[in-house]
């Protein structure tokens, strides 16, 4: 069993980590960490649980610690805000911990893999470069992408592999859940669409090209096609929508597209171990 520490465990994303790992056959949460406001408190006292249902069994009896090494765990899952995640995650990696981060702080770092397992697992080849960058401790950082970039890259990858891609234009309609808690002011979003989300367009444009880029010479060369994004906040509780216009590298019959999407990577797709229940995910934008 791999022992997990969760950084930012009292926030919505940290709560989701706890919920998804509860009863997992391979992982056991042994440590929760958060800001100094929560440090030293029982998790159930420090956390306002917002996901519905009961606080996961994994968190019962745990006390919140400071998000600094050492912690009693084998791997760290980070849901820290980007403005504090960068140096904290670096310190854990330098201390020898594998850090799996939901934060945007390191996504575009040259030595850090930005990975969707179904799309670019080969980018984990950067791990040796990342270890070298973190020093003698042997730790590393792996990041996952922005929530909208995930669904866009998952769709573009098979199209790029079969037809090539020359240009992408994306318009997103993003739900309130992505803004976290307390989120968007009711006065701003009621009967309205907010046509801008700070930082979101740049994340989609740059992260998508890194995910779909090629690993060569110890770095990722971004995909060569431009990505243009326009992001909007809409008055929907949960679930983002992306309208994507793709200019392909060669003509494609519409009948070819379903098989291109369905067949891509199917032979390499990992099988998830059985567990007692399955839950969907809801992520705050990072």
Q: Which residues are catalytic?
A: 147, 240
Interhelix angle 127-134/82-94, nearest 10 degrees:
90
Q: Say if residues 131 and 89 touch (Cβ distance below 8 Å).
A: no
Rounded-to-integer distance, Cα 34 and Cα 29, Å: 14
Taken in order 272, 204, 249, 111, the sign of the CA dihedral is negative
Question: In this structure, what is the dihedral angle of CA atoms 139, 144, 145, 148, given to the nearest 10 degrees?
Answer: -160
Q: Say if residues 62 and 31 touch (Cβ distance below 8 Å).
A: yes
Other Cβ atoms closer than 10 A to 120: 21
Partners of 7 in the beta sheet? Answer: 33, 78
Question: In this structure, what is the dihedral angle of CA atoms 59, 64, 66, 71, given to the nearest 10 degrees?
Answer: -50
Rounded-to-integer distance, Cα 241 and Cα 169, Å: 14
- Look-up: residue for tokens 């249902």? 53
Q: Residue 111 corresponds to which tokens in the numbers above? A: 């030595």
Rounded-to-integer distance, Cα 80 and Cα 67, Å: 9
Rounded-to-integer distance, Cα 168 and Cα 166, Å: 7
């Amino acid at each position: 069993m791999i022992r997990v520490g969760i950084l930012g465990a009292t926030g919505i994303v940290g709560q989701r980590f706890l919920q998804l790992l509860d009863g997992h056959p391979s992982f056991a949460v042994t440590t929760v960490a958060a800001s100094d406001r929560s440090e030293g408190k029982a998790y159930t006292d420090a956390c306002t649980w917002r996901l519905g249902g009961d606080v996961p069994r994994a968190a019962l009896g745990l006390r919140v610690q400071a998000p600094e090494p050492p912690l009693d765990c084998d791997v760290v899952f980070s849901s820290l805000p980007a403005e504090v995640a960068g140096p904290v995650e670096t310190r854990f990696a330098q201390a020898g911990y594998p850090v799996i981060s939901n934060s945007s702080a390191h996504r575009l770092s040259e030595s850090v893999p930005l990975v969707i397992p179904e799309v670019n697992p080969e980018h984990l080849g950067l791990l040796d470069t990342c270890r070298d960058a973190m020093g003698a401790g042997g730790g590393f950082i792996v990041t996952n992408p922005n929530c909208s970039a995930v669904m866009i890259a998952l769709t573009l990858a098979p199209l790029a592999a079969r037809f090539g891609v020359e240009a992408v234009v994306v318009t997103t309609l993003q739900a309130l859940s992505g803004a976290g808690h307390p989120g968007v002011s009711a006065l701003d979003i009621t009967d309205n669409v907010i046509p801008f989300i700070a930082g979101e367009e740049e994340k989609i444009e740059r992260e998508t090209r890194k995910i779909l880029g090629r690993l060569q010479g110890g770095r990722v060369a971004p995909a060569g096609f431009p990505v243009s994004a326009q992001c909007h906040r809409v008055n929907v509780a949960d679930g983002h929508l992306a309208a994507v216009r793709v200019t392909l590298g060669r003509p494609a019959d519409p009948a070819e597209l379903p098989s291109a999407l369905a067949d891509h990577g199917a032979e390499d797709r990992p099988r998830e171990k059985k567990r007692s229940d399955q839950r969907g995910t809801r992520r705050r934008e990072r």
